[in-house]
Structure 1
Amino acid sequence: MMLEKVQSIFDLANTKPASRPSSRKEEAYSRILEIVLHGEMEQNTCLNEQKLAERFGMSRAPVREALQMLCSERILENIPRMGYRVVPISVKETIDAINVRLLLEIESARLACRNRSNVALARLDELIAQEKRIETDEESIHSWITQGDVVHQSIAELSGNIVLVRMIVSLIDLMRRASIQLILEGKDKPLSIHYHMRILRAVRVGNEKEAEELLRKDIIIIKDMITQG
Protein backbone atom coordinates (compact mmCIF):
# COMPACT_ATOMS: atom_id res chain seq x y z
CA MET A 1 0.00 0.00 0.00
CA MET A 2 2.80 2.42 0.89
CA LEU A 3 4.56 1.69 -2.41
CA GLU A 4 1.32 2.36 -4.30
CA LYS A 5 0.91 5.68 -2.45
CA VAL A 6 4.48 6.71 -3.24
CA GLN A 7 4.02 5.78 -6.91
CA SER A 8 0.72 7.69 -7.09
CA ILE A 9 2.29 10.85 -5.70
CA PHE A 10 5.33 10.42 -7.95
CA ASP A 11 3.13 10.10 -11.03
CA LEU A 12 1.21 13.24 -10.06
CA ALA A 13 4.36 15.20 -9.35
CA ASN A 14 6.12 14.10 -12.52
CA THR A 15 4.57 16.79 -14.69
CA LYS A 16 7.52 17.11 -17.05
CA PRO A 17 7.64 14.29 -19.61
CA ALA A 18 11.05 12.67 -19.94
CA SER A 19 11.27 13.03 -23.68
CA ARG A 20 9.16 15.23 -25.97
CA PRO A 21 9.90 16.13 -29.59
CA SER A 22 10.57 19.79 -30.29
CA SER A 23 7.54 21.54 -31.80
CA ARG A 24 5.36 24.59 -31.43
CA LYS A 25 3.07 22.59 -29.19
CA GLU A 26 5.98 21.64 -26.95
CA GLU A 27 7.20 25.23 -26.91
CA ALA A 28 3.74 26.37 -25.83
CA TYR A 29 3.61 23.58 -23.24
CA SER A 30 6.94 24.62 -21.71
CA ARG A 31 6.06 28.31 -21.64
CA ILE A 32 2.65 27.78 -20.07
CA LEU A 33 4.18 25.45 -17.48
CA GLU A 34 6.71 28.15 -16.64
CA ILE A 35 3.89 30.64 -16.12
CA VAL A 36 2.32 28.22 -13.64
CA LEU A 37 5.52 27.34 -11.80
CA HIS A 38 6.71 30.95 -11.69
CA GLY A 39 3.53 32.02 -9.93
CA GLU A 40 2.68 34.62 -12.59
CA MET A 41 -1.05 33.94 -12.25
CA GLU A 42 -3.09 35.50 -9.49
CA GLN A 43 -5.43 33.25 -7.53
CA ASN A 44 -8.75 32.40 -9.22
CA THR A 45 -7.67 33.85 -12.57
CA CYS A 46 -7.79 31.95 -15.85
CA LEU A 47 -5.45 31.58 -18.80
CA ASN A 48 -6.93 32.63 -22.12
CA GLU A 49 -6.05 30.65 -25.24
CA GLN A 50 -6.11 33.65 -27.59
CA LYS A 51 -4.05 35.87 -25.27
CA LEU A 52 -1.46 33.13 -24.80
CA ALA A 53 -1.18 32.67 -28.57
CA GLU A 54 -0.60 36.41 -29.01
CA ARG A 55 1.93 36.45 -26.18
CA PHE A 56 3.88 33.53 -27.65
CA GLY A 57 3.62 34.75 -31.24
CA MET A 58 2.02 31.58 -32.57
CA SER A 59 -1.35 30.30 -33.76
CA ARG A 60 -4.02 29.09 -31.36
CA ALA A 61 -3.78 25.42 -32.41
CA PRO A 62 -0.48 24.54 -30.65
CA VAL A 63 -1.53 26.58 -27.61
CA ARG A 64 -4.83 24.69 -27.43
CA GLU A 65 -3.03 21.35 -27.68
CA ALA A 66 -0.58 22.39 -24.95
CA LEU A 67 -3.43 23.48 -22.68
CA GLN A 68 -5.20 20.17 -23.26
CA MET A 69 -1.98 18.32 -22.44
CA LEU A 70 -1.64 20.23 -19.16
CA CYS A 71 -5.27 19.42 -18.36
CA SER A 72 -4.63 15.71 -18.92
CA GLU A 73 -1.72 15.98 -16.48
CA ARG A 74 -4.00 17.62 -13.88
CA ILE A 75 -2.01 20.85 -13.81
CA LEU A 76 -4.80 22.92 -15.42
CA GLU A 77 -8.56 22.54 -15.68
CA ASN A 78 -10.85 23.93 -18.36
CA ILE A 79 -13.54 26.27 -17.04
CA PRO A 80 -16.22 26.66 -19.76
CA ARG A 81 -16.50 30.20 -21.17
CA MET A 82 -13.74 31.40 -18.84
CA GLY A 83 -10.46 29.70 -19.75
CA TYR A 84 -7.96 27.47 -18.01
CA ARG A 85 -7.31 27.59 -14.29
CA VAL A 86 -4.48 26.07 -12.28
CA VAL A 87 -5.76 23.06 -10.37
CA PRO A 88 -5.48 23.92 -6.67
CA ILE A 89 -3.24 21.63 -4.63
CA SER A 90 -5.14 20.27 -1.66
CA VAL A 91 -3.74 20.30 1.86
CA LYS A 92 -3.79 16.49 1.97
CA GLU A 93 -1.99 16.18 -1.35
CA THR A 94 0.69 18.61 -0.23
CA ILE A 95 1.21 16.88 3.11
CA ASP A 96 1.39 13.47 1.39
CA ALA A 97 4.06 14.84 -0.96
CA ILE A 98 6.00 16.33 1.96
CA ASN A 99 5.98 13.01 3.82
CA VAL A 100 7.33 11.15 0.79
CA ARG A 101 9.88 13.87 0.13
CA LEU A 102 11.11 13.58 3.72
CA LEU A 103 11.85 9.89 3.22
CA LEU A 104 13.68 10.45 -0.06
CA GLU A 105 15.68 13.54 0.90
CA ILE A 106 16.85 12.13 4.21
CA GLU A 107 18.25 9.18 2.28
CA SER A 108 19.84 11.53 -0.27
CA ALA A 109 21.52 13.50 2.55
CA ARG A 110 22.94 10.30 4.02
CA LEU A 111 24.36 9.26 0.65
CA ALA A 112 25.61 12.78 -0.11
CA CYS A 113 27.71 12.72 3.05
CA ARG A 114 29.43 9.61 1.72
CA ASN A 115 29.74 10.62 -1.94
CA ARG A 116 30.69 14.28 -1.66
CA SER A 117 33.38 15.80 -3.87
CA ASN A 118 35.18 19.14 -3.81
CA VAL A 119 33.69 20.13 -7.16
CA ALA A 120 30.12 19.38 -6.03
CA LEU A 121 30.55 21.15 -2.71
CA ALA A 122 31.97 24.21 -4.46
CA ARG A 123 28.81 24.27 -6.59
CA LEU A 124 26.65 24.12 -3.47
CA ASP A 125 28.61 27.00 -1.94
CA GLU A 126 27.83 29.03 -5.04
CA LEU A 127 24.12 28.18 -4.86
CA ILE A 128 23.91 29.10 -1.19
CA ALA A 129 25.55 32.47 -1.90
CA GLN A 130 23.01 33.11 -4.65
CA GLU A 131 20.11 32.19 -2.38
CA LYS A 132 21.33 34.56 0.32
CA ARG A 133 21.22 37.42 -2.19
CA ILE A 134 17.77 36.42 -3.42
CA GLU A 135 16.37 36.22 0.11
CA THR A 136 16.65 40.01 0.47
CA ASP A 137 14.64 40.59 -2.72
CA GLU A 138 11.02 40.80 -1.58
CA GLU A 139 9.74 41.08 -5.14
CA SER A 140 11.45 37.91 -6.36
CA ILE A 141 9.14 35.22 -5.01
CA HIS A 142 9.82 32.88 -7.93
CA SER A 143 13.59 33.36 -7.68
CA TRP A 144 13.49 32.66 -3.94
CA ILE A 145 11.49 29.43 -4.38
CA THR A 146 13.47 28.21 -7.39
CA GLN A 147 16.86 28.85 -5.79
CA GLY A 148 15.93 26.85 -2.71
CA ASP A 149 14.72 24.02 -4.93
CA VAL A 150 18.02 24.00 -6.82
CA VAL A 151 19.89 23.65 -3.52
CA HIS A 152 17.78 20.63 -2.59
CA GLN A 153 18.26 19.13 -6.05
CA SER A 154 22.02 19.63 -5.83
CA ILE A 155 22.13 17.84 -2.48
CA ALA A 156 20.16 14.99 -4.06
CA GLU A 157 22.60 14.85 -6.98
CA LEU A 158 25.46 14.43 -4.53
CA SER A 159 23.86 11.12 -3.54
CA GLY A 160 24.90 9.57 -6.85
CA ASN A 161 21.53 7.79 -7.14
CA ILE A 162 19.94 8.80 -10.44
CA VAL A 163 16.51 7.32 -9.68
CA LEU A 164 16.43 9.05 -6.30
CA VAL A 165 17.30 12.37 -7.93
CA ARG A 166 14.55 11.98 -10.52
CA MET A 167 11.89 11.31 -7.89
CA ILE A 168 13.02 14.18 -5.67
CA VAL A 169 13.03 16.62 -8.60
CA SER A 170 9.48 15.57 -9.51
CA LEU A 171 8.28 16.17 -5.96
CA ILE A 172 10.11 19.50 -5.89
CA ASP A 173 8.04 20.61 -8.91
CA LEU A 174 4.84 19.75 -7.06
CA MET A 175 6.01 21.46 -3.88
CA ARG A 176 7.01 24.58 -5.82
CA ARG A 177 3.40 24.98 -6.90
CA ALA A 178 2.28 24.47 -3.30
CA SER A 179 4.78 27.04 -2.02
CA ILE A 180 3.64 29.63 -4.56
CA GLN A 181 0.03 28.92 -3.60
CA LEU A 182 0.84 29.50 0.09
CA ILE A 183 2.60 32.79 -0.63
CA LEU A 184 -0.29 33.99 -2.79
CA GLU A 185 -2.54 33.24 0.19
CA GLY A 186 -0.49 35.69 2.26
CA LYS A 187 1.84 33.32 4.13
CA ASP A 188 5.34 34.53 5.00
CA LYS A 189 8.42 33.13 3.28
CA PRO A 190 10.11 30.57 5.56
CA LEU A 191 13.74 31.30 6.45
CA SER A 192 15.13 28.13 4.88
CA ILE A 193 18.43 29.77 3.92
CA HIS A 194 19.78 29.17 7.44
CA TYR A 195 19.10 25.43 7.18
CA HIS A 196 20.64 25.22 3.71
CA MET A 197 23.93 26.68 4.90
CA ARG A 198 24.06 24.32 7.87
CA ILE A 199 23.17 21.33 5.69
CA LEU A 200 26.06 22.23 3.39
CA ARG A 201 28.48 22.34 6.30
CA ALA A 202 27.21 19.00 7.62
CA VAL A 203 27.62 17.36 4.21
CA ARG A 204 31.08 18.87 3.82
CA VAL A 205 32.33 17.18 7.00
CA GLY A 206 30.33 14.00 6.37
CA ASN A 207 28.04 14.38 9.39
CA GLU A 208 25.13 12.19 8.25
CA LYS A 209 23.02 12.58 11.39
CA GLU A 210 23.15 16.38 11.36
CA ALA A 211 22.56 16.64 7.61
CA GLU A 212 19.51 14.36 7.85
CA GLU A 213 18.04 16.26 10.81
CA LEU A 214 18.55 19.66 9.19
CA LEU A 215 16.93 18.51 5.96
CA ARG A 216 14.00 17.19 7.96
CA LYS A 217 13.56 20.56 9.71
CA ASP A 218 13.91 22.46 6.44
CA ILE A 219 11.18 20.48 4.68
CA ILE A 220 8.89 20.38 7.71
CA ILE A 221 8.70 24.21 7.66
CA ILE A 222 6.29 24.05 4.72
CA LYS A 223 4.25 21.34 6.45
CA ASP A 224 3.93 23.53 9.55
CA MET A 225 2.81 26.49 7.43
CA ILE A 226 0.04 24.33 5.97
CA THR A 227 -1.17 22.61 9.12
CA GLN A 228 -1.16 25.83 11.12
CA GLY A 229 -3.42 27.36 8.50
Structure 2
Amino acid sequence: MPSKNTLTEQVYERVYEDVVNGVFVNGQVITENMLIQRYHVSKSPVREALVSLCDEQVLQSIPRTGYQVVRIMPDELLQVQETRQMLEVYMLERSFAHLNDDKIQKLQEYNDRIGSQDPLKTQASKQWSDNMEFHLLLASFSGNAYMCRLLADTFRICARASTQYFLQISDESIWSKRDTHERLIEACRERDIETAKQLLIEDSKKILQVWQNYLNF
Protein backbone atom coordinates (compact mmCIF):
# COMPACT_ATOMS: atom_id res chain seq x y z
CA MET A 1 0.00 0.00 0.00
CA PRO A 2 1.31 3.50 -0.76
CA SER A 3 2.31 5.92 2.02
CA LYS A 4 -0.60 7.37 3.97
CA ASN A 5 -2.00 10.88 3.46
CA THR A 6 -0.87 11.18 -0.15
CA LEU A 7 -3.18 11.64 -3.13
CA THR A 8 -2.06 8.22 -4.33
CA GLU A 9 -3.15 6.73 -1.00
CA GLN A 10 -6.54 8.43 -1.29
CA VAL A 11 -7.09 7.00 -4.77
CA TYR A 12 -5.91 3.58 -3.60
CA GLU A 13 -8.40 3.57 -0.72
CA ARG A 14 -11.27 4.78 -2.88
CA VAL A 15 -10.70 2.06 -5.46
CA TYR A 16 -10.36 -0.54 -2.70
CA GLU A 17 -13.59 0.66 -1.04
CA ASP A 18 -15.40 0.57 -4.38
CA VAL A 19 -14.31 -3.05 -4.78
CA VAL A 20 -15.47 -3.99 -1.26
CA ASN A 21 -18.76 -2.11 -1.67
CA GLY A 22 -19.49 -3.85 -4.96
CA VAL A 23 -19.20 -0.76 -7.16
CA PHE A 24 -16.47 -2.57 -9.10
CA VAL A 25 -17.45 -6.23 -9.25
CA ASN A 26 -15.49 -9.41 -9.65
CA GLY A 27 -14.05 -9.67 -13.17
CA GLN A 28 -14.92 -6.09 -14.15
CA VAL A 29 -12.32 -4.17 -16.14
CA ILE A 30 -11.63 -0.58 -15.12
CA THR A 31 -9.42 1.97 -16.84
CA GLU A 32 -7.26 4.91 -15.86
CA ASN A 33 -9.62 7.35 -17.58
CA MET A 34 -12.60 5.87 -15.74
CA LEU A 35 -10.91 6.48 -12.37
CA ILE A 36 -9.68 9.96 -13.34
CA GLN A 37 -13.24 10.98 -14.12
CA ARG A 38 -14.76 9.23 -11.10
CA TYR A 39 -12.34 10.64 -8.51
CA HIS A 40 -11.48 13.94 -10.24
CA VAL A 41 -7.72 13.46 -9.97
CA SER A 42 -4.80 13.49 -12.40
CA LYS A 43 -3.28 10.48 -14.15
CA SER A 44 -0.16 10.17 -11.97
CA PRO A 45 -1.80 9.25 -8.61
CA VAL A 46 -4.27 6.98 -10.41
CA ARG A 47 -1.46 5.13 -12.16
CA GLU A 48 0.57 4.80 -8.93
CA ALA A 49 -2.48 3.54 -7.03
CA LEU A 50 -3.20 0.99 -9.74
CA VAL A 51 0.35 -0.33 -9.52
CA SER A 52 -0.06 -0.85 -5.77
CA LEU A 53 -3.44 -2.51 -6.22
CA CYS A 54 -1.92 -4.88 -8.77
CA ASP A 55 1.00 -5.63 -6.44
CA GLU A 56 -1.53 -6.65 -3.77
CA GLN A 57 -3.55 -8.67 -6.31
CA VAL A 58 -6.69 -6.61 -5.86
CA LEU A 59 -6.46 -5.88 -9.59
CA GLN A 60 -4.54 -7.40 -12.47
CA SER A 61 -3.26 -5.48 -15.46
CA ILE A 62 -4.56 -6.47 -18.89
CA PRO A 63 -2.35 -4.91 -21.59
CA ARG A 64 -4.10 -2.42 -23.88
CA THR A 65 -7.39 -3.03 -22.05
CA GLY A 66 -7.28 -1.92 -18.41
CA TYR A 67 -7.30 -3.46 -14.95
CA GLN A 68 -9.51 -6.36 -13.95
CA VAL A 69 -10.88 -6.96 -10.45
CA VAL A 70 -9.26 -10.18 -9.23
CA ARG A 71 -11.46 -12.99 -8.04
CA ILE A 72 -10.38 -14.61 -4.76
CA MET A 73 -10.50 -18.37 -5.14
CA PRO A 74 -12.03 -20.72 -2.52
CA ASP A 75 -8.72 -22.36 -1.60
CA GLU A 76 -7.27 -18.90 -0.90
CA LEU A 77 -10.18 -18.17 1.43
CA LEU A 78 -9.33 -21.27 3.47
CA GLN A 79 -5.69 -20.24 3.72
CA VAL A 80 -6.53 -16.68 4.69
CA GLN A 81 -8.91 -17.74 7.45
CA GLU A 82 -6.40 -20.25 8.80
CA THR A 83 -3.73 -17.55 8.86
CA ARG A 84 -6.04 -15.07 10.56
CA GLN A 85 -6.99 -17.57 13.26
CA MET A 86 -3.40 -18.56 14.01
CA LEU A 87 -2.22 -14.95 14.15
CA GLU A 88 -5.01 -13.76 16.42
CA VAL A 89 -4.75 -16.61 18.91
CA TYR A 90 -0.96 -16.36 19.11
CA MET A 91 -1.00 -12.59 19.57
CA LEU A 92 -3.68 -12.88 22.26
CA GLU A 93 -1.54 -15.39 24.13
CA ARG A 94 1.43 -13.00 23.96
CA SER A 95 -0.55 -10.02 25.21
CA PHE A 96 -2.93 -11.54 27.75
CA ALA A 97 -0.66 -11.13 30.77
CA HIS A 98 -0.38 -7.42 29.95
CA LEU A 99 -4.09 -6.75 29.31
CA ASN A 100 -4.70 -4.23 32.06
CA ASP A 101 -7.91 -2.32 32.74
CA ASP A 102 -6.85 0.64 30.60
CA LYS A 103 -6.36 -1.53 27.51
CA ILE A 104 -9.63 -3.36 28.08
CA GLN A 105 -11.38 -0.01 28.43
CA LYS A 106 -9.98 1.07 25.05
CA LEU A 107 -11.54 -2.04 23.51
CA GLN A 108 -14.86 -1.26 25.17
CA GLU A 109 -14.87 2.37 24.08
CA TYR A 110 -14.11 1.43 20.50
CA ASN A 111 -16.81 -1.23 20.43
CA ASP A 112 -19.34 1.18 21.94
CA ARG A 113 -18.51 3.74 19.28
CA ILE A 114 -19.06 1.40 16.35
CA GLY A 115 -22.08 -0.13 18.09
CA SER A 116 -24.07 3.05 17.57
CA GLN A 117 -24.10 2.54 13.79
CA ASP A 118 -26.99 1.03 11.88
CA PRO A 119 -25.56 -1.95 9.93
CA LEU A 120 -28.28 -1.59 7.30
CA LYS A 121 -27.15 1.96 6.58
CA THR A 122 -23.40 1.41 6.75
CA GLN A 123 -21.37 0.45 3.70
CA ALA A 124 -19.70 -2.95 3.69
CA SER A 125 -16.21 -1.41 3.55
CA LYS A 126 -16.92 0.65 6.70
CA GLN A 127 -18.26 -2.35 8.59
CA TRP A 128 -15.25 -4.45 7.66
CA SER A 129 -12.91 -1.58 8.52
CA ASP A 130 -14.52 -1.13 11.95
CA ASN A 131 -14.35 -4.87 12.65
CA MET A 132 -10.74 -5.01 11.52
CA GLU A 133 -9.74 -2.05 13.70
CA PHE A 134 -11.22 -3.72 16.80
CA HIS A 135 -9.22 -6.90 16.18
CA LEU A 136 -6.07 -4.95 15.33
CA LEU A 137 -6.41 -2.93 18.54
CA LEU A 138 -6.53 -6.16 20.53
CA ALA A 139 -3.64 -7.62 18.52
CA SER A 140 -1.54 -4.46 18.99
CA PHE A 141 -1.25 -5.20 22.70
CA SER A 142 1.11 -8.05 21.77
CA GLY A 143 3.69 -5.48 20.69
CA ASN A 144 4.37 -7.25 17.37
CA ALA A 145 3.82 -4.65 14.63
CA TYR A 146 4.81 -7.04 11.83
CA MET A 147 2.15 -9.56 12.80
CA CYS A 148 -0.39 -6.73 13.03
CA ARG A 149 0.36 -5.83 9.41
CA LEU A 150 -0.09 -9.45 8.36
CA LEU A 151 -3.39 -9.59 10.23
CA ALA A 152 -4.58 -6.38 8.56
CA ASP A 153 -3.78 -7.92 5.16
CA THR A 154 -5.89 -11.00 5.94
CA PHE A 155 -8.86 -8.84 6.95
CA ARG A 156 -8.65 -6.84 3.74
CA ILE A 157 -8.75 -10.06 1.71
CA CYS A 158 -11.74 -11.26 3.75
CA ALA A 159 -13.55 -8.01 3.04
CA ARG A 160 -13.06 -8.36 -0.71
CA ALA A 161 -14.05 -12.01 -0.71
CA SER A 162 -17.24 -11.42 1.23
CA THR A 163 -18.35 -8.76 -1.21
CA GLN A 164 -17.46 -10.84 -4.25
CA TYR A 165 -19.37 -13.86 -3.06
CA PHE A 166 -22.05 -12.62 -0.70
CA LEU A 167 -23.15 -9.14 -1.73
CA GLN A 168 -26.65 -10.44 -2.49
CA ILE A 169 -27.08 -12.35 0.79
CA SER A 170 -29.27 -10.39 3.20
CA ASP A 171 -27.79 -11.88 6.37
CA GLU A 172 -26.57 -9.31 8.87
CA SER A 173 -24.64 -11.99 10.76
CA ILE A 174 -22.07 -11.95 7.97
CA TRP A 175 -21.15 -8.38 8.81
CA SER A 176 -22.09 -7.85 12.45
CA LYS A 177 -19.47 -8.85 15.01
CA ARG A 178 -20.33 -6.56 17.92
CA ASP A 179 -21.93 -9.25 20.11
CA THR A 180 -18.83 -11.42 19.80
CA HIS A 181 -16.71 -8.38 20.63
CA GLU A 182 -18.69 -7.79 23.83
CA ARG A 183 -18.23 -11.39 24.93
CA LEU A 184 -14.54 -11.19 24.11
CA ILE A 185 -14.14 -8.01 26.15
CA GLU A 186 -15.91 -9.66 29.08
CA ALA A 187 -13.57 -12.67 28.88
CA CYS A 188 -10.61 -10.28 28.99
CA ARG A 189 -12.05 -8.55 32.05
CA GLU A 190 -12.43 -11.90 33.78
CA ARG A 191 -8.89 -12.87 32.72
CA ASP A 192 -10.33 -15.97 31.07
CA ILE A 193 -7.86 -16.63 28.30
CA GLU A 194 -9.36 -19.94 27.18
CA THR A 195 -12.78 -18.37 26.58
CA ALA A 196 -11.17 -15.39 24.83
CA LYS A 197 -9.21 -17.69 22.52
CA GLN A 198 -12.30 -19.75 21.77
CA LEU A 199 -14.27 -16.63 20.88
CA LEU A 200 -11.58 -15.56 18.41
CA ILE A 201 -11.64 -19.03 16.86
CA GLU A 202 -15.45 -19.05 16.67
CA ASP A 203 -15.46 -15.58 15.13
CA SER A 204 -13.10 -16.74 12.41
CA LYS A 205 -14.95 -20.01 11.84
CA LYS A 206 -18.35 -18.32 11.57
CA ILE A 207 -17.58 -16.50 8.34
CA LEU A 208 -15.69 -19.54 7.03
CA GLN A 209 -18.77 -21.71 7.61
CA VAL A 210 -20.89 -19.28 5.62
CA TRP A 211 -18.38 -19.41 2.79
CA GLN A 212 -18.24 -23.22 2.86
CA ASN A 213 -22.05 -23.59 2.86
CA TYR A 214 -22.47 -21.12 0.04
CA LEU A 215 -19.62 -22.26 -2.18
CA ASN A 216 -19.80 -26.00 -1.38
CA PHE A 217 -16.09 -26.46 -0.82
Q: Same fold (TM over 0.5)?
A: yes
Please say if 1:206 is aligned against 2:194: no
2:206 is aligned to: 221
Give 5+ residue unaligned stretches, structure 1: 1-15
Match of 1:165 among 143, 148, 168: 148
**What TM-score does the superposition give when structure 2 sets the normalisation length?**
0.83
2:57 is aligned to: 74
SS at match of 1:77: strand
d(CA) in 2 for partners of 1:142 and 1:69? Answer: 19
AA in 2 matched with 1:154 = L
Match of 2:169 among 153, 173, 186: 186
d(CA) in 2 for partners of 1:106 and 1:81? Answer: 45
SS at match of 2:172: coil
Say if 1:127 and 1:21 are closer, same or farther in 2 by CA, change over 3 A.
closer
Number of equivalences: 211
Please say if 1:137 is aligned against 2:122: no
SS at match of 2:29: coil
2:101 is aligned to: 118
Match of 2:182 among 197, 208, 213: 197
SS at match of 1:182: helix
1:47 is aligned to: 30
Question: CA shift at 1:167, angstroms?
Answer: 1.9
1:128 is aligned to: 111
AA in 1 matched with 2:121 = E
> Are the counterparts in 2 of residues 112 and 203 from structure 1 also a CA contact under 8 Å?
no
**Percent identity (aligned):** 27
**What TM-score does the superposition give when structure 1 sets the normalisation length?**
0.79
Q: What is the CA RMSD across the aligned residues, in angstroms?
A: 2.6
> Are the counterparts in 1 of residues 85 and 201 from structure 2 also a CA contact under 8 Å?
yes
SS at match of 2:149: helix
> Are the counterparts in 2 of residues 25 and 65 from structure 1 also a CA contact under 8 Å?
yes
Question: CA shift at 1:39, angstroms?
Answer: 4.3
2:77 is aligned to: 94
d(CA) in 2 for partners of 1:73 and 1:83? Answer: 16
Moved over 6 A (4+): none
Question: CA shift at 1:189, angstroms?
Answer: 3.1
Report Cα offsets for 1:44-63 as digits up to 9, x if no partner: 44323213112333333442
Say if 1:119 and 1:180 are closer, same or farther in 2 by CA, change over 3 A.
farther
Match of 1:156 among 115, 124, 139: 139
AA in 2 matched with 1:117 = N
Give 5+ residue unaligned stretches, structure 2: none
Say if 1:113 and 1:72 are closer, same or farther in 2 by CA, change over 3 A.
closer
